[in-house]
Structure 1
Amino acid sequence: MEQEHNSQEEEIRTRAYYLWEQAAEPKGTPDEYWEQARAEIEKEAPPVESGLIADEPRK
């Protein structure tokens, strides 16, 4: 689970940097790009089935 969190964090970091590079001057704060990147990635993520726990096998 921690590895998945680190992977998502790295994906957000990469997306935030890309957004920062593409921004017109003056550039915003790092937190603005981080939140925008996080929101975009969460929007793109596949929906999670309710009631299932990631580490629990399906029955």
Structure 2
Amino acid sequence: MQLSEPTEQEIRERAHRLWEQAGKPEGREEEFWRAAQQELRNEDKSNTQRTPDTL
């Protein structure tokens, strides 16, 4: 099973959330982008069978 790469939109949303949680520092966009990308990749590896959330 091949793991999918996170989409640009997923990375953007995660990076924005991380940036907000860090107090919205200026000039660290790349740092948050890389952190978001890594988090999403790690989640994908630990969650090889993605199932829809049930309510």
Give the TM-score normalised by structure 1: 0.58
The unaligned stretches of length 5 or more in structure 1 are 48-59
Partner residue in 1 for 2:8: 9
Larger radius of gyration: 1
Deviation of 1:8 (Å): 1.0
Number of matched residues?
Answer: 42
Please show how residues 25-40 of structure 1 align to structure 2 within 5 Å. 27=25, 29-40=28-39
Give the TM-score normalised by structure 2: 0.62
Identity %: 40
Partner residue in 2 for 1:20: 19
Deviation of 1:46 (Å): 4.0
- Name the amino acid aligned to 1:15: R
Greater RCO, CA 8 A, separation 6+: 2
When the two chains are superposed, the root-mean-square deviation of aligned CA atoms in Å is: 2.3
Deviation of 1:29 (Å): 0.6
- Name the amino acid aligned to 2:30: D
